[in-house]
Structure 1
Amino acid sequence: MTQPLRDKLVAMLDVVYPALDCQFLADQLLSTMGLEPDMPPPPAHQNNWDESDIILITYADTVQKEGQKPLVTLRQFLNDCLSDTISAVHILPFFPYSSDDGFSVMDYLAVNESHGSWEDIEAIAREYKLMADLVINHMSARSRWFENFKKRVDPGKDYFFQGNPRDDLSAVVRPRTSPLLTPVQTDDGERYVWCTFSEDQVDLNFANPQVLIEFAAIIRYYLERGVLLFRLDAVAFLWKEPGTPCIHLQQTHELIKILRLLIEHYSPDAVIITETNVPNRENLTYFGNANEAHVIYNFSLPPLLINTLVTGDCRHLKTWLMSMPPAQLGTTYLNFIASHDGVGMRPTDGLLDEEEKQHLINAMESFGGKVSYRRTSDGRDQPYEINISLYDALKGTVEGGADHWQLQRFICAHTIMLALEGIPAFYMHSLLASENDLERMENTGRLRSINRSQWEIDKLETELENPLSHHSKAYHELTRLIDIRRRQSAFHPNATQFTLHLGLQLFGFWRQSMRRDQSIFCIHNISDEVQQVPLSSINLIGTDHWQDLISGMTIDDQSGTITLKPYQCVWLSNRD
């Protein structure tokens, strides 16, 4: 017999709040979400995605038009240029904010007036699956809640986590070099607030259950306005206990389960995605037992794939791929190779050695990239992320420097991403092959601005219509590859995947559809030299007709070889 929703919720709450009346708290949460206590659960292990799903990641104001709200311009660009290419759009924080390009939220229930309105958001949500950030770990120091914290009144009085400078905080895992505790003058004296990311981003206090209730109300508000995919920003840091690393604590995992339980009972089609930019093994824990995140970011993919293509050696990428467990049904990976943030280096821990990391950093700096750092528990500053546009990250090789293979290398990277197990996500500036925006970085003083350009839509459309422009070449080839991918059942996010062993310059894997009616051998030359692929090494079934979905080439002699130019890729399929 199925356990009632309320009973499940109470059991989870007891783990987080053992000293509280969790039955009363469960009733508050269910009332806030508008849920009945005995609601049946959604179908178990349900895949809310298929091979046609492609996510676009963009800021609300990445494309602009004079005299028009950016959300209106964005919708126009999506409908004119990407309506047959993407199924979902992740609009990065579109709320009023005070810093960090949106991730220091001042009001969770408002749309930034300079971007547009809730009506604009809802219009996009009617045409595409909408993914929004739930910036759940911290809030702006200029928010009303924090102003109330300083005045010592509600709502907000006890909404922010406070620390004590005398506590032993040496074990706390930090993603930044800024001070962890910030002194704040309040109406009843000086208090120290916990700031994982910056003094303008004050960590919320989930030890106060009223904060959880507030977020249940925020989640319901988003659901009512069409949000279907929830990105839990920086969620790994949610629960704090001095004397511990304050990352990945059990209460954090339990809170994710609680949010998932509430969200999927409200909308069985909704999806939770955890944003945990951490080493690979730690990242995998956010699947739980298929009861935490529906989807986790493949954070190790961007640095490993870039490293593969600039070294011409796929050893580490292949080792990583072989170690990745197949996601259970109802869960999957989100594959990306560029985002609004930099290329994370922590996800390479245990995958690249220190010398290899430094060689990669040196290459990226030679291509115009910058490096930001984090503070370790022993006081050392370690590289945290590389800030660079993906197009410029693939400008050349570690040994040879910049070369003429940049575009081919860039297309190869995305071809690999499109074929891997999971849902592909394209950052707008990768789809457009934007270059390093050094001027914007200098103007803002923030390294991440190097990959957060803004396009004037008329100029962008001119570039995309110019056949000689690298923006046009990249955009048209990537949208062509996406169109091919979306029609292949073997590219379902949960389809079978096996790694192929073809040497260090050929990265390959095999995908098979869940109905076993299609196989695709995905083979990629990740070097700047011509490579020969003996077809005998990939065991094509002799009775099937094989064709490269990318070029249209047919395989007439299965005992022969195929020749791959530098960075050329093939998707050999037994079904057109």
Structure 2
Amino acid sequence: MTDNTAGESILNSSFSGSPYAQPIDLPSSIDELIDYSEHDQSEYSVSNNLWYKEAIFYEVYVRAFSDVEGTGNGGISGITSKLDYLHSLGVDCIWLLPIYPSPLKDDGYDVADYCDIHPDYGTLNDFKILVNAVHERNMKIIADFIPNHCSEQHKWFQAARKDRNSPYRDYFVWTDDPILYKEARIIFLDVEPSNWTYDEVAGQYYWHRFFKEQPDLNFDNPKVQEEMLNIMKFWLDIGIDGFRVDAVPYLFERDGTSCENLPETHIFLKTMRKFVDDNYPGRIMLAEACQMPNEVRKYFGEGVGDEFHMGFHFPVMPRIFMAIKRGEGSCLKEIMDQTPEIPATCQWVTFLRNHDELTLEMVTLDERKEMWSFYAPEPRMKINLGIRRRLAPLLGNDQRKIELAYSLLFTLPGSPIIYYGDEICMGDNIWLEDRHGVRTPMQWNDTPPNGGFSESKNYCYSKVLDDPIYGYQRVNVNDAQRDPSSLYNIIRTMINRRRKHLAFGHGTFTYVQTNNSHIFAFLRICGIDKMLCVHNLSDQPQKAFLYLREGFVTYGRRHSVAPTSGANKRSTLHPPIQTDRQSHYLVDILTDHQYMIDMEGKVAVEFEPYSFYWFSMGEITTLTADFGPRSRDLRRKSISSSSSISSVATPYLLPKPSNLTDI
């Protein structure tokens, strides 16, 4: 276990004899005991149903999270049993991956029944208990909704393929000519040769954008649209707080187009949004559109936002890894420059890793080769146009890098998502097929044989990681909770501090100039709440001047800023730093170290490798001896006990099964 004062001593020693700005010493006091029981949003968010703009989301693969019934499969009741863990971490909203009955060709995204629970996971009554328990803790819960396609085993498709006169025949897209829609790309290039598959029983080809076992639904049929609204009503009536809507760009097809982002799609999405707003105010829709930000912008709709409340910002994710690999942030700046403004009631959603591959669809060919070479040196680490690895292995199990990545995630515009297990540095198993290597059981403790995930001794849906680096004996929740310097506790602290600042959920985003390309700095401002976020992306100590004057006399790019009054009203100009006395003080809310900005709007800062600061501007009076205890700097140099770590980490691989050939 690392001494919890190590990070603070490292930070202080780096300034010894330095001509750079000195941290202001604060009186010592008893370590603060943070109360993590509150999950309240700001008054603004509550009164305007904007809870999602300040929320921390947590993605749960139900099968992998917790098995309380001894079946070897995680289930709904298992999640209910672990809600206090998620609540303590600081999670505001749980996102459940597909829970529907399914043959599991695509891990539940091939739905066989939209209005029931997969029998491996439990029952509808179990789900209702979960929803109520979530709400009792002032948390939210959303679930995956897959309108674009269903399973070939769904009763609709079975009826459609057997009878051309069936009312369900027109629920799907059929043709005798598989050249139709030839401009549409094939998404699963490694397994599907075409978007059309011939069905012997139906005597025609049917359309599918993903696996052939997932026929696309025909949204030109009003009955299909009605079915989708009825499905939404079913789950919203149970009490869920919204949907992560899968594969939204592909709902309609038109010959001569890419069959993506069509106008007809947006018309139906506006219908969905109106249905939710009229009948279930405060519930949300999150768009899964793996597109560049200018295309995703269309899915927020027009005016104040009449389509999705939230949308994933996919291109940010690979560029966080790219920036850490390169040690400089120009790629992040470029993608943020391409990110358009969105309505004030909407929000981006960001993440580091999830249940799929780290997609490299939206980088250049040279960048893709660069990322594959560095982060996926083994062929089995690659899949489709991406990398199938978890966060800790990707970053060489170096906690400095992992904390840096989370700092970027928590401070860039958007509501962040944590993928289950990443908060404790879980590893992966690349010898499992498809994406199953990043969907192994959650590691709760060091109890054999399943690390607290399940008491089943005869069956487990997937082997729990059991290796010298990431095995459950070494990496588990119990140990992480006890270690004050663990990633789990660092994230917990970050979430708690983030929650106190409106700027992260509602603020403007403005770059800050520096004289050092390794330093990536920006301002987040919402009213009087001003946050300066500064990151050293390199593996070496750095010094930098930050030039702040321009950030206070000009507008920054406005990423979903809360209006001061009235719909979409812009905030007034921030006062120049020369006349805004409050903004001369910088206080790092993670360590409480304080700095001064000179009258020219310049501050000099030193950085340890991969270090970062969340400076609040103007909080000095809240941090004197009369106003409460000093926070601990729990950040440490590395997860490794070694005094130095190579910037290029050698990936640890589980032993290759003897019956498996290289791919």
- The TM-score, its normalising length taken from structure 2, stands at 0.71
Cross-structure match for 1:169: 181
Cross-structure match for 1:432: 424
Cross-structure match for 1:550: 590
Counterpart AA for 1:172: A
- Note the C-alpha offset of 1:438: 2.3
From the superposition, tell whether residues 512 and 456 of structure 1 become closer, same or farther in structure 2 (CA, over 3 Å). closer
- Note the C-alpha offset of 1:162: 1.4
CA distance in 1 between counterparts of 2:99 and 2:109 reads: 9
Partner of 1:230: helix, strand, or coil? strand
- Note the C-alpha offset of 1:55: 0.6
Cross-structure match for 2:25: none
User: Are 2:362 and 1:347 equivalent residues in the alignment?
Assistant: yes
- Alpha-carbon contact 2:513-2:547 (below 8 Å) kept: no
CA distance in 1 between counterparts of 2:547 and 2:50 reads: 37
Partner of 2:107: helix, strand, or coil? helix
- Alpha-carbon contact 1:51-1:487 (below 8 Å) kept: no
For structure 1, the residue ranges without an aligned partner over 5 or more in a row are 1-42, 374-383, 396-404
Counterpart AA for 1:436: D
Cross-structure match for 1:450: 437
- Note the C-alpha offset of 1:230: 1.4
Q: Pairwise mapping of residues 238-317 of structure 1 onto structure 2 (< 5 A)? A: 238-289=251-302, 290-317=305-332
Which of 337, 343, 362 does residue 373 from structure 2 map onto?
362
- Note the C-alpha offset of 1:298: 0.6
Counterpart AA for 1:406: D
Partner of 2:362: helix, strand, or coil? helix
CA distance in 1 between counterparts of 2:478 and 2:206 reads: 51
CA distance in 2 between counterparts of 1:566 and 1:333 reads: 29
Q: Pairwise mapping of residues 122-271 of structure 1 onto structure 2 (< 5 A)? A: 122-126=128-132, 127=134, 128-152=139-163, 154=166, 156-177=168-189, 178=192, 179-186=194-201, 189-271=202-284
Cross-structure match for 2:518: 505
CA distance in 1 between counterparts of 2:181 and 2:484 reads: 47
Q: Pairwise mapping of residues 11-50 of structure 1 onto structure 2 (< 5 A)? A: 46=48, 48-49=50-51
From the superposition, tell whether residues 254 and 536 of structure 1 become closer, same or farther in structure 2 (CA, over 3 Å). closer
Paired-residue identity, %: 22
CA distance in 2 between counterparts of 1:367 and 1:565 reads: 31
- The TM-score, its normalising length taken from structure 1, stands at 0.81
CA distance in 2 between counterparts of 1:481 and 1:354 reads: 35
Q: Pairwise mapping of residues 392-407 of structure 1 onto structure 2 (< 5 A)? A: 392-395=393-396, 406-407=398-399
Using the TM superposition, name which of 111-120 and 160-169 deviates more: 160-169
Q: CA RMSD in A?
A: 2.5
Cross-structure match for 1:94: 99
Cross-structure match for 2:56: 54
Cross-structure match for 2:122: 116
CA distance in 2 between counterparts of 1:167 and 1:356 reads: 33
- Note the C-alpha offset of 1:531: 1.3
CA distance in 1 between counterparts of 2:440 and 2:492 reads: 21
The structure number with the bigger radius of gyration is 2
Cross-structure match for 2:391: 390
Cross-structure match for 2:615: 572
CA distance in 2 between counterparts of 1:471 and 1:571 reads: 20
For structure 2, the residue ranges without an aligned partner over 5 or more in a row are 1-44, 453-472, 552-576, 623-663
- Alpha-carbon contact 1:523-1:570 (below 8 Å) kept: yes
- Alpha-carbon contact 1:136-1:233 (below 8 Å) kept: yes
Counterpart AA for 1:299: F
Structure with higher strand content: 1
CA distance in 1 between counterparts of 2:229 and 2:489 reads: 42
CA distance in 1 between counterparts of 2:380 and 2:400 reads: 20
- Note the C-alpha offset of 1:322: 2.8
- Alpha-carbon contact 1:47-1:329 (below 8 Å) kept: no
- Note the C-alpha offset of 1:168: 4.2
> How many pairs are equivalent?
500
Using the TM superposition, name which of 80-89 and 260-269 deviates more: 80-89
User: Are 2:112 and 1:106 equivalent residues in the alignment?
Assistant: yes
- Alpha-carbon contact 2:54-2:415 (below 8 Å) kept: no
CA distance in 2 between counterparts of 1:84 and 1:359 reads: 35
CA distance in 1 between counterparts of 2:175 and 2:317 reads: 35
- Alpha-carbon contact 1:368-1:388 (below 8 Å) kept: no
Partner of 2:51: helix, strand, or coil? coil
Partner of 2:510: helix, strand, or coil? strand
User: Are 2:338 and 1:323 equivalent residues in the alignment?
Assistant: yes
From the superposition, tell whether residues 536 and 311 of structure 1 become closer, same or farther in structure 2 (CA, over 3 Å). closer
- Alpha-carbon contact 1:230-1:272 (below 8 Å) kept: yes
Which of 344, 347, 350 does residue 332 from structure 1 map onto?
347
Counterpart AA for 1:245: S
CA distance in 2 between counterparts of 1:547 and 1:106 reads: 54
From the superposition, tell whether residues 168 and 162 of structure 1 become closer, same or farther in structure 2 (CA, over 3 Å). closer
- Note the C-alpha offset of 1:472: 7.9
Counterpart AA for 1:288: G
